[in-house]
Amino acid sequence: MKGRLLFILTIFGMIGFVLVVTVTDKADFKKRYHQHEEWNSEVQIELEISDIKTHLPVIQIDTAGQQIPGERIIGTDAYQLTEDGESEIETTFKLYQDESAPLTLVSTIHYRGNSSRLFRKKSYSLGFIDQNKNEKAVSLLGMEADNNWALHGPYLDRSLIRNYLAMNVAGEIMPYAPDVRFVEVFIDENYEGLYLLMEKVTKGDGRVSLTTPENNSRQTSYIVVVDRLNKMNFSLNEFLRYTDKSYPSGTELIYPTGRKYTEERQQYVERDFSYIAHSIYQIPYGQEDDHYQDLLDVQAFYDYFILNELFRNVDAGRYSTYFYRDMRGKLTPVVWDFNNSLNNYQSTTFDETGFSMTQSIFYEQLLKDDDFVDGLIQRYYELRKTKLKTQRLHQYIDETVNFLGDSITRNNERWSDMYDLTQYDTDNYLQPIERNVTSYHEAIQQLKQYLEKRAEWLDDYIETLHQYDHPSRHSHESIK
């Protein structure tokens, strides 16, 4: 009888363990829309302006003969404006997504990016306006309604899928990562190839969900980005900048802007962000009881580090580095722009070894805390067993390529110079010339091989992050 009872209790214990694991897994990872898994590929879109038939959504932008502004002026940090001195133009935007009539809107458009503005294939910033020229929030391809969109044209990324892969994986793991959809694009009646329509990091339901400040309150939720100073309209005078921790970058206010912006709210953000940054830079001697944990979404900081290290995104923590904080929440990072990841940085080679983020803002201090390092390493092992398994990532790549199908062929015919090294120049290719692939198959193999080797190196050396929390590396800082 006792043996039978013990057996039953053991079985119930095992069931309870399985249930706990299952519930934890569901709570840990978020539902993410993966276009290559859920889009109806059987629907073929036919266009009046072209004989192309495609299963992908199609965006057509009619400029009415206007020159799109925003191209970089060679030798300067300035960008071209329209003849009237405007930074964007109004266009007619059409979105074809099935056999019904296209969605037609009035859009504003300009070139976007940094070095990518010099590419032959351009990327664009999109907004929408109503008949009174007021901003208009629009839902596109199932993504949440907003007025701020990026139309990323993968070009230096010859695989075409770095941002799609990384953003979607991040969206399963982190509190928020911008949603993305592949589209094919026509500018006027000219086919421009395969693009990725991307949410920008902005406040809104389905994007960064933030509490709206009360009308008479100086306190506010906020979004900031650490990036190149020359790109900024609302740079902040905050701790990272006036201590040169983020040099040569600065911090820009992304929200609140417009009608929600006041000088008092900007000053509040400067003080609040500075207080958090200063608290982090007091590690390990200037505070007690791990005060930073009350201010940061620590797991999101783990995940941001892990994702950007795995994909070897060397710009993270230096450029295009977003943070948000709700008035009722904690400072949280947001991933952005993996075009240069996985050894695709234009001017420099980064092999599979070494860490990229150990000297970046915040992490150069957080890694001095042994609790943070312990948690980071544990989280890494958890993710490598699940969403970041090499086999899973390779399969994701293969399925995405299979989904894109003929659109890859069309894109590579449109931009055939990508693989023609007789056309080599330092603006449109990796440096030196030997780093460039000469076929799409080679681009995918290079992507998968680098990712596999990078993961293997991290598996072998992730524990060495403990060197950064060892007192021997920073004991001198206790001398005040």
| pLDDT of 25 | 44
User: Which tens digit of pLDDT belongs to each residue from 237-259?
Assistant: 999 998 989 888 999 999 998 88
**Neighbour-count burial for 44-70, b at 16+ CB within 10 Å, e otherwise:** ebebeeeebebbbbbbbbbeeeeebbb
Backbone phi, psi, residue 364, to 5°: -60, -25
Q: Any alpha helices (H) in 311-405, and if so which ranges?
A: 363-366, 370-384, 390-404
Contact call for residues 141 and 96 (beta carbons, < 8 A): no
Indicate the helix (H) or strand (E) that contains 303: helix 298-310
| pLDDT of 30 | 85
- Residue in the structure block whose two tokens are 């296209």: 102
Sign of CA dihedral 280, 379, 28, 404: positive
Least confident span in 234-248, 260-274, 302-316: 234-248
| pLDDT of 81 | 86
Bigger pLDDT: 46 vs 116: 46
Distance of CA 116 to the CA centre of its chain: 16
Bigger pLDDT: 203 vs 48: 203
- Residue in the structure block whose two tokens are 């935007």: 93
Strand pairing category for 58-62 and 180-187 = parallel
Average pLDDT over residues 125-134: 94
Least confident span in 31-40, 139-148, 288-297, 443-452: 288-297
Residue 268: which pLDDT band, with cuts at 50, 70 and 90? very high
Is the per-residue pLDDT at 134 higher than 70?
Answer: yes
| pLDDT of 14 | 41
Helix orientation angle between 440-461 and 298-310, rounded to the nearest 10 degrees: 130
Surface-to-core class of residue 273, CB atoms within 10 Å of its CB (0-12 exposed, 13-18 middle, 19+ buried): buried
Distance CA 296, CA 361 (A): 14
| pLDDT of 285 | 67
- Measured CA to CA in angstroms, residue 38 lies from 35, 169, 181, 399, 429 at distances of 5, 15, 11, 12, 34
Tell me which residue of 337, 307, 300 sits closest to 321, measured CA to CA: 337
Residue 18: which pLDDT band, with cuts at 50, 70 and 90? very low
Backbone phi, psi, residue 324, to 5°: -135, 155
Helix orientation angle between 440-461 and 390-404, rounded to the nearest 10 degrees: 160
Give the end-to-end CA distance of the chain in Å, rounded to a whole number.
69
Which residues fall within 8 angstroms of residue 390, CB to CB, at 6 or more apart?
451, 452, 455
Is the per-residue pLDDT at 6 higher than 60?
Answer: no
| pLDDT of 107 | 96
| pLDDT of 27 | 45
Structure tokens that stand for 123 in this block? 């990327």
